[in-house]
Amino acid sequence: MSGPFSAVKISDRVYWVGAIDWALRDFHGYATSMGSTYNAYLIVADQITLVDTVKESLMNEMMARIASVIDPSDIQNIVCNHAEMDHSGLLPRMIREVRPERVIASRQGVKALNAHFHWDVQVEEVKDGECLDLGGARVHFVATPMLHWPDSMFSYLEGDRVLFSQDAFGMHLASGERFADELDAELLRQEAAKYYANILLPFSPMVTKLFAKLPSLNLDIGIIAPDHGPIWREKPEQILECYSEWATQRPTRKAVVVYDTMWYSTARMAEAVSEGLASGGLTVKMMPLAGSHRSDVATELLEAGTLVVGSPTINGMIYPTVADVLTYIRGLKPKNLIGAAFGSYGWTGESIGQVEEYLTEINVEIAAERVRVQYVPDSDALMRCHALGRQVAAKRKESLTAGVSS
């Protein structure tokens, strides 16, 4: 008996048997304000196969869903598309419980699982392009290294036309609905964009390579089943199109102004900078760090073209919240941004130069001279901030116009 948990049928031979994590609020520094799901899939063929597992603490929910379809001990194969612990952490217990004939992973997946668990389990390595015959059903394996770990791979069930895409094409979103077409389209785009910006963005070149490779694979994809979030069963090409667009990191007229403030001087400067950007023809998103999480800043930058950052100086250093968000963004490796630095100080004012150094390390093109103000900005200082915004806007518009003409 499965108790209150039941599997959800997603195709003739495939069931969702995952778990919903309503309480998750942080994922590696990424604010998951809407929770998440950990998706696992059961292929009911002659050889019953489990594709991925769930977070270890949610084992009982997954096992109950499996038990609503089959006896879990009938599972013969477990496919591990991705060795990250939110999907593989349960494997040792599953193997002891189910005793499958085979555990399958990519070459790098075998190495990662061995390094995680230091076990004596024999994990079978599969290569790019190999197939697994389940008896009346065939699974094809597609290597997708660095989307988003070295071990990552897709699995494709022919006939049912289901692509098991591990962490790609997913999102952190807990819901009672299992399918994307049951949810609001704007919510889906917002959460998918946040996921891409915070998880996949550094690997955009690999996303582009994947789309170049897909036509040669001749996969007739009818359903995309990721490891997080809803399943794409109607028009799955919509999420493929989003990824193709996001991978280009094509700059836009949107400007993101990120800042923190101690006694509101830097905040006043940020307002003047934003007015200058707007009067120069850009759409502005102001993000005071007192109320903006680093992962939301990354999300806003995904479809932007400009990043302007302000910081007060504290103890001769950049303000801690500003350093935090710039360190986080640096790891995400955004492309094609321009920007500038500004800020206030009381004594020596080192932070503004430090902000500019961060921007340079992130490969943000400095488009205007930094503005530094001691203590409280007067009207002249605010006009210099406004001019900084206008100068950055002019530079952004010039580059966009050049890009269109070329």
What are the tens digits of pLDDT across the range 107-148?
999 999 999 999 999 999 999 999 999 998 999 999 999 999
Domains of the chain, each with CATH number or no CATH: 8-247 (3.60.15.10), 255-400 (3.40.50.360)
What are the tens digits of pLDDT across the range 371-391?
999 999 999 999 999 999 999
CA distance linking residue 356 with residue 310, whole number of Å: 10
Of 378, 362, 265, residue with least CA distance to 312: 265
What are the tens digits of pLDDT across the range 254-274?
999 999 999 999 999 999 999
CA distance linking residue 406 with residue 399, whole number of Å: 10
> Which residues form the catalytic set?
28, 82, 84, 86, 148, 167, 195, 228
Of 209, 256, 286, residue with least CA distance to 396: 256
Q: Which residues in the chain land under pLDDT 70?
A: 1-2, 403-406
pLDDT at res. 2 = 54
- Residue 133: count of CB within 10 angstroms of its CB: 11
Of 168, 207, 172, 190, residue with least CA distance to 28: 172
